[in-house]
Amino acid sequence: MGHILAVANQKGGVGKTTTVVNLGAALAERGQHVLLVDLDPQGALTAWSGLDPYSLTPTTYSLLAQEGVTLGQIVRPIGEHLWLAPGSVDLAAAEYQLMARPDRARRLADPLRSEADQVAYVLIDTPPSLGLLTVNALTAAEAVIVPVECRYLAMRGIRAILDTVGTVRERLNPSLDLLGLLPTMYQPTSMHSRQVVEELRAAFGGRVFETVIESDDALATAPAARMPVIAHRPASAGAAAYRQLASEVEARCITQK
């Protein structure tokens, strides 16, 4: 089966969507078949791919909230070796629409796991919350990547996402692992940035990726160009970082199996 990885952190703007797009493209460049899944009502991943999360149908909302919709009906090709299950703004309503259902946490896991053998990697983008959409992603996943912005206050939020991962592991998905904490928006010339990474490594050791994602204009401008950074600015620090992350993710997925 393909490796299903959720990218999650309840803090907004830490680089979740940027990681899904650019890690996905870097894995695809290495010859892996990759499916990106948008579970965020903001639809940033879907918009980045050139689709409109306001008008598109069917989407992951249909998969979660409606009956008889298959993953095959919503997935579309977006590049070489790269596919997208788009999201829509309707996902915001899915949280309460699903609430009364006994299978509310498994609406993504069941269809995804039965079709994940079609690709090598599935990367799930989640909203900045620990609600039912993120819980659906964690229930479907084999492991989670937690982007952490290199700022002191951002570190304080790590406990909340790790607690949620622990709860989902206990109640819904016993095989869920932490693939790694990913330092993002790193500023090499900032003492503060360096201190945060040191503290992260002191507190979490090998659970922090070796790869650190720098704060890079090439990453910030890639969404408007509707391209992953390796196509938008192939020689940038951001492109190099996500290529390195792809190789580290492959290695970690093999050792955690």
Ligand X SMILES: Nc1ncnc2c1ncn2[C@@H]1O[C@H](COP(=O)(O)OP(=O)(O)OP(=O)(O)O)[C@@H](O)[C@H]1O
Binding site for ligand X (CB under 6 A): 12-18, 40, 42, 44, 128, 184-185, 213, 215-216, 219-220, 223
Is residue 14 a contact residue for Mg ion (CB under 5 A)?
A: no
- Determine the size of the site formed for Mg ion (CB under 5 A): 3
| 8-16, 149-157, 218-226, 236-244 -> range binding Mg ion (CB under 5 A) | 8-16
188 close to 199: Cβ distance less than 8 angstroms: no
| Of the candidate residues 3, 11, 16, 106, the single one contacting Mg ion (CB under 5 A) | 16
Residue 170 Cβ, how far from ligand X at the closest point, in Å?
A: 25
In 3D space, the residue among 40, 41, 22 whose CA is nearest the CA of residue 182 turns out to be 22
Q: SS3 letters for 136-184?
A: HHHHHCCEEEEEEECCHHHHCCHHHHHHHHHHHHHHCCCCCEEEEEEEE
In 3D space, the residue among 179, 147, 163 whose CA is nearest the CA of residue 14 turns out to be 147
Residue 176's CB is within 10 A of a number of other CB atoms, namely 19
Residue 218 Cβ, how far from ligand X at the closest point, in Å?
A: 8
Select 111 or 238, whichever has its Cβ closest to ligand X: 238
> Which residue number is nearest to Mg ion in terms of Cβ?
17
Is residue 44 a contact residue for Mg ion (CB under 5 A)?
A: yes
Select 43 or 111, whichever has its Cβ closest to ligand X: 43
Select 118 or 151, whichever has its Cβ closest to ligand X: 151
Angle at 197 between CA 194 and CA 202, to 5 degrees: 125
Q: How far is CA 107 from CA 27, 93, 113, in A?
A: 26, 14, 11
Residue 126 Cβ, how far from ligand X at the closest point, in Å?
A: 8
Q: Where on the chain is the footprint of Mg ion (CB under 5 A)? A: 16-17, 44
